[in-house]
Amino acid sequence: MGLKIQNGRIIDAANKLDFVGDIYIQDGKIVAFNDAPLNFQTDEVIEATGQIVCAGFVDLSVRLKNVAKEAAVAASSGVTSFCVQPDIKPIIDTPEVVKHLKDSAKSEQVHFIGALTQKLEGNELSSMLSLKQAGCIAMSNGNFPVKNLLILRRAMEYAASHDLLFIYRPNEFSLSNGGCAHEGAVATRYGLPSIPEAAETIALEQCLELAELTDCRVHFGQLSSKRAVIKLQQAKKYGLNVTADVSIHQLLLTENDVIPFDSNYHVVPPFRGIEDRDFLRAGLLNGTIDAICSDHQPHSLDSKLAAFPETKAGISSLESLLPLLLQFVDEGVMDLAQGLALLSAKPAKVLGLKTGSLAIDSQADICIFDPNLTWDVNADNWHSEGINTPFWGKTLKGRVTKTIQAGKVIF
């Protein structure tokens, strides 16, 4: 099948593309720009005048209830590849669970992260090699603690010996102690249980030491603090094989934006101070932080109805991923090409996926969006089963109009 996307603004920082023109797709791959290749037969034309055409987004951290349902939500958000964290139901700790979830997903978008320890209890290592053979793209203990540093060391040694990416969300649980807000002025004012910055930085420092000891390839997920960025920058300077991402909402919101009685602002790691946010932004610009993720966590209405500290942490954030990036760009922090690369080529590189860019002969995973289209976040426009978002009722700018995976329109 021959697909032509015409008159769109084609942007891809990985290949230094930024022009208005056409893309030709044949047999699931990009075959030409602007001039149709010899004997190309056009079966479908997508008109993209006034829109941006870029690589499909690659999301490093998604949690979900219904795999097939949320895969459709991802498609509507321009995401052509996403990683499901292991701390869902059922826990991704056996090859049988991986097979079941793959069968349920029925989508090439979905990649699964295997559990580092059995049942995520942090005591005994899972069979990581079996999980890799079943198709897991990386290993992690999600948001659950590993009981002690010896187990963490053994897990990293195992991952290194089988060339597995280890994804780690740094959080010293004894210090975070079930907190729900940043240890700062807002938590103090409203009497909210707090999480100090040290809960992140101490866990990060310990893992960096073990990464050097074990030669394990580590990706740090959802960093939130100034000091974590500084420590990671130093580690990269001295040659450690580490990468990191940040959640899109951490780049825009701080503790000052939190409405204490609105549990949609309850996230872990918590929204921190303005200086932390600014260091996260700087970390993206100087390459210390490698990618942006949605950290999508859809919850039922009941999960967010209790008092703020008693509710489940997390935001349903796939659908706000692109609009928040565009807001970030509009603030002049970075240009659009840089921002799109942090959602596509750079996370694809972290995972070792051959996607995330627009190159001749590459798989045609493409997002087309209207950067000026405004829409209201409400029940009529929201696709996810989770409506737990601090942006509910607000107007956002930028919306995906088409998502293409391997040359096939999936949204």
Query: What would the two tokens of residue 175 be?
Result: 């210090």
User: Alpha-carbon Rg of the chain, whole angstroms?
Assistant: 21
**Which value, to the nearest 10 degrees, does the dihedral of the CA atoms of residues 110, 115, 116, 118 take?**
-160
Distances (CA, A) of 135 to 1, 20, 66, 95, 349: 29, 38, 19, 8, 18
Q: CA–CA separation, 216 vs 218, rounded Å?
A: 6
Q: CA–CA separation, 184 vs 276, rounded Å?
A: 12
Token look-up 């090859």 returns 95
Nearest to 113 by CA among 182, 158, 164, 187: 164
Q: CA–CA separation, 160 vs 171, rounded Å?
A: 22
Instruction: Count helices and strands (H / E) in the chain.
Output: 12, 18
Q: CA–CA separation, 148 vs 132, rounded Å?
A: 24
Query: What would the two tokens of residue 60 be?
Result: 């490093």
Query: Of 27, 295, 365, 376, which one is the catalytic site residue?
Result: 295
CA 66, 72, 75, 80 torsion-angle sign = positive
User: Is 59 in the active site?
Assistant: no
Helix (H, G, I), strand (E, B) or coil at 208: helix
SS (H, E, C) 254-278: CHHHCCCCCHHHCCCCCCCCHHHHH
Collect all residues with Cβ–Cβ distance below 8 Å to 310 and sequence separation of at least 6.
Answer: none
Task: Tell me the pairing of strands 17-26 and 29-33.
Answer: antiparallel
Active site residues: 295
